[in-house]
Amino acid sequence: MKKKILLSAAGFLAAMFLMAGFREVVWYRFEMRPVVGEKITGSIYDLEGMSRRWFSEYFDQFKGWSVPYDYRITDAVINNLEVLTDLETPYVEIDYTVHVASANDRIVQNLELTGTDRRRAYSGQMVIRWEESGTDTYTIAEKLRPVQYQIRTPEFQEERNTPQTEHFQMRTDEQMTYYIENGVLYVTYDGGENFVEVPEGYEKVCTMANGSYNELLPYNSYLVTEEFTAFVTHNSLLYSRDKGEIWKESRIYDGAYRANVYVSMTDKGCYVTLAVDRSLGSDYYQTFCSQDLETWTAVQSPEMGWSNLTCSFWTKDGRGYYAKGDSLSMTADNGGSFQEIEIPEAVEITSELGFNPFDTVERMYEKDGILYAVVGQGDDGDYVKDGKLAEALYESQDGVNFSFVEEIADDTPEQAG
């Protein structure tokens, strides 16, 4: 009897190993079909219906046990589909949500997805162009990211052909900062006594979507310290750990748009916030985190993402802040939940003026264990003191409760002659 039990157990284990081995072979042979080259029957007069049918059939390849977890999904749903007619040939933009089968970070890169605040739910975007390849048969001849399509539109090209670049004087009151001269980006660690060139920094960091250059980098969009110096391009991190001796570049997210960017170094890793979507004049942001500056993971965010941020900052101990105008949100659990933070009025100022001019959180920083927030006047500010726009400085001991410290002058450098 005992021998039969042992034989049965051995047979069961052998079967399990055989099934596992068979599964590994099947997974090894899996190949993701490229989008370009996909065919479907349909009509050029029904691009929407044809695209919806193709989308459903295409994402079926990622379902089932035979698909490795690096690619396996449970469902893919179209959120919005639009036929684009800005160019001579119509294109189709598809915005969709993918529900993955496991918590596998590689699937995000393999399927070019972006994180959401829902568990195992990711968003994706693509723009495709159909080309007739036979009787009632059409082939996807081109696949683009939305930003690539936008670059081709006449409106974008017209704007790009009229670039204007403003030049600014160096911020001489900062010991460690950047400096731009004659199309070259430099950093200084001694208040301007010596400068270190950032290789290709001007093109990579300062290039704007319209072809001009932004030489006034916003606070929180760069870091210059002896331990770690970093600039964010529209989709990568350009950094040095040895005061500019060696520079490295780490790709964060290929589908990013050229817009405001934000970077913070914490005890838990580096956090970068990029614009990953654009719609009706609004930019939508996603934060990515990396401990090794090679692999980047999306941080959870609200369902619709962060739109039109004016500031994003992460403290040393890993608390994240997101500002949109005077609205400030904080997460203490890496995006798991968010708390609204109130910035009180500067009563000393508002009571004298009769209104509150400070309505935009523009930058945040830490010093000696205290968190500071600078609240400015936004694009429509006109409250001037001693010839300069005024800003309000706030501080917080616990990262939640802020109090007004003093009125300060906007330190935007003067334009270079």
Segment 202-226, tens digit of pLDDT: 999 998 877 788 898 988 999 999 9
- The share of the chain scoring above pLDDT 90, in percent, equals 62
Lowest mean pLDDT among 28-42, 157-171, 363-377, 403-417: 157-171
Lowest mean pLDDT among 55-69, 121-135, 160-174: 160-174
Total-model pTM: 0.61
Lowest mean pLDDT among 170-184, 222-236, 280-294: 170-184
Task: Report how far residue 181's alpha carbon sits from residue 266's, in angstroms, rounded to the nearest whole number.
Answer: 31
Lowest mean pLDDT among 120-129, 219-228, 294-303: 294-303
pLDDT in tens, 164-198: 677 778 776 788 999 998 899 999 999 889 999 99
DSSP 40-89: EE--GGGHHHHHHHHHHHHHGGG-STTS-TTT-EEEEEEEEEEEE-SSSS
**CATH homologous superfamily of 163-409:** TolB, C-terminal domain (2.120.10.30)
Q: Is residue 407 within 8 Å of 391, Cβ to Cβ?
A: yes
Lowest mean pLDDT among 8-17, 246-255, 303-312: 8-17
Q: Is the model's pLDDT at 359 over the cut of 80? A: yes
Tokens (6 digits) for 288: 């990515």
pLDDT in tens, 325-339: 889 999 999 999 999
Task: Report how far residue 139's alpha carbon sits from residue 137's, in angstroms, rounded to the nearest whole number.
Answer: 7
Query: If you average pLDDT over each of 17-31, 85-99, 115-129, which comes out highest?
Result: 85-99
Q: Is residue 77 within 8 Å of 67, Cβ to Cβ?
A: no
Give every CB contact of residue 398 below 8 A, 6+ residues apart in sequence. Answer: none
Number of alpha carbons in the 13 Å side-chain half-sphere of residue 299 = 30
Which pLDDT value is given to residue 189? 94
pLDDT in tens, 305-314: 789 899 999 9
What residue ranges do the domains of the chain occupy? 39-157, 163-409
Q: Is the model's pLDDT at 303 over the cut of 80? A: no
The residues that bridge with 227 in the sheet, in sequence order, are: none
Confidence of residue 163 (pLDDT cuts 50, 70, 90): low
Q: Is the model's pLDDT at 151 over the cut of 90? A: no
